[in-house]
Structure 1
Amino acid sequence: MKYRSVFDIIGPIMIGPSSSHTAGAARIGRAARTLFGIQPESVKVSLYGSFAETYKGHGTDFALVGGLLDFDTSDTRIPQSLSLAKTAQMDVTFIEEDAISDHPNTVRLLLKAGEKEMEIVGISIGGGKIQIVELNGLKLNLSGMNPAILVVHNDRYGFISKVTNLLAKYQVNISHMEVSRKEKGQVALMAIETDENISDKVFEEIKGLSNDLQVTRMIE
């Protein structure tokens, strides 16, 4: 079920005109910025389906960029985000893709800063709600609405339990969890949404579980 209350259907406080194409797009952009960790120097924005067809008229372009600039959905600067991105020296390129996606409101973001690079796929599912469905080719289902921690690690026996046991030790309740991998024994992704923000102490302990981890935290 996509909606838990009438407020999920009405959507968030936002700069319009559309909850799906504007608020949802802003949240995808902001989730991508959070996962990337810093402001990207360049972003390639590949739009699919309805996003590709109507992104200029519905404000999807400036909403995505506003999110990438770390603006909330209600931030009055969002309509000016394209020019603000230039001022911030963030180069953004929009590409209208012809390929058919699984969801009509789909965007693929390729973020770069120096040697750092990340590719994220997000969808806007209505009412301002989103899902991040792919990170660097690894599948996931992240709402972008709750605190979360993402752990990229080498696929090996017992590692997932190390992370979950550590969260249990600090009484951090898991609301949703998914794991994915491309191949057995290769790179894997653990995406864990929680009921409360993960503290600095817990975050650092998770990072200390192995030397080959990439750990990202999303907080409310």
Structure 2
Amino acid sequence: MAQLSAFDVLGPNMIGPSSSHTAGAAVIAYLAQKMINGPIIKATFTLYGSFAHTYSGHGTDRALLGGLLGFHTDDKRIRDSFRIASERGIEYHFIPNDTVTDIHPNSVDILMENEAGTTMLIRGESLGGGKVRISRINNVEVEFTGEYSSVIVVHQDQLGLVAHITAVLSHFGVNIAFMRLFRESRGQTAYTLVEVDGDLPKGIKEMISDNHYVHDVMIIEP
């Protein structure tokens, strides 16, 4: 059995009432907004399982919107996230879905659109104690927690791309904790997720992007 610390049981510093339904929701949305460039103008939250049944009463809706606004789990502005989002001109919708059952019970799809008209879909799962897992980016199933500083590279599935990414990280002296590649199918769009020890130096994004087959590079700091 996995060992649990006191922090896993008690959960993080947060605006309550629930580490699963509020803190976890806020973390999922916080990670999601890090993955799309530029200000978000529209967001649709599709909620599944217990999220769909209790999102209003447990404050999941406010927490999701607060995370999307860039608020951490203990930020008191989460309580006013509806008002703040409206003041920033963000259109938002919450859609409970109780027909899909083969999914983690605390799951949400976040469909975001930025000012440039770019859209991105992120699926997140709240695992308890404020811990989360991102399980989908657009049409590709992935897996990462956001607990480490992370680089997500969207690229064509081509020979030599992973070597290019690791060479850049080595150039900057970055120590890789975990590295995984996910793809739609051979030769199609792929996502390389690299979780690292410590902070990510400036310049990594630009150097990784300097490859014909790289479509996008996302830098996510916890």
**Cα deviations by residue, 1:45-75 (Å, 9 ceiling, x for unpaired):** 0000010011011100000000001011110
In structure 1, the residue matched to 2:8 is 8
1:186 to 185, 188, 207: 188
TM-score by length of 1: 0.95
Unmatched 5+ residue regions in structure 1? none
Deviation of the 1:180 alpha carbon: 1.0
Q: Which amino acid aligns with 2:104?
A: H
**Residues 146, 57 of structure 1: alpha-carbon distance in 2 compared, 3 angstrom cutoff:** same
Q: Is the Cα contact below 8 Å between 2:112 and 2:119 reproduced in 1?
A: yes
**Residues 44, 185 of structure 1: alpha-carbon distance in 2 compared, 3 angstrom cutoff:** same
Q: Secondary structure of 1:21's partner?
A: helix
Q: Is the Cα contact below 8 Å between 1:39 and 1:68 reproduced in 2?
A: no
In structure 2, the residue matched to 1:81 is 81
1:155 to 144, 154, 157: 157
CA distance in 1 between counterparts of 2:11 and 2:191 reads 30
Identity %: 39
How many residues are paired up? 220
Q: Which amino acid aligns with 2:173?
A: Q
Equivalent residues in 2 for 1:10-89 (5 A)? 10-89=10-89
Q: Which moved more, 1:115-124 or 1:5-14?
A: 5-14
Q: Secondary structure of 1:183's partner?
A: coil
**Cα deviations by residue, 1:1-53 (Å, 9 ceiling, x for unpaired):** 76653212321100000000000000111111111133311101000001001
CA distance in 1 between counterparts of 2:60 and 2:137 reads 21
**Cα deviations by residue, 1:164-192 (Å, 9 ceiling, x for unpaired):** 12212322111122211111111111011
CA distance in 1 between counterparts of 2:206 and 2:3 reads 34
CA distance in 1 between counterparts of 2:93 and 2:11 reads 28
Deviation of the 1:129 alpha carbon: 0.5
- Match status 1:213 vs 2:210: no
CA distance in 2 between counterparts of 1:194 and 1:157 reads 23
Q: Secondary structure of 1:61's partner?
A: helix
Q: Which moved more, 1:195-204 or 1:43-52?
A: 195-204
**Cα deviations by residue, 1:173-219 (Å, 9 ceiling, x for unpaired):** 11122211111111111011111222112222111133642111012
Q: Which moved more, 1:182-191 or 1:164-173?
A: 164-173
Equivalent residues in 2 for 1:108-147 (5 A)? 108-113=109-114, 114-147=116-149
Q: Which amino acid aligns with 1:106?
A: S
In structure 2, the residue matched to 1:102 is 103
Q: Which amino acid aligns with 1:87?
A: E
Q: Is the Cα contact below 8 Å between 2:48 and 2:107 reproduced in 1?
A: yes
TM-score by length of 2: 0.94
Deviation of the 1:94 alpha carbon: 0.6
CA distance in 2 between counterparts of 1:125 and 1:117 reads 26
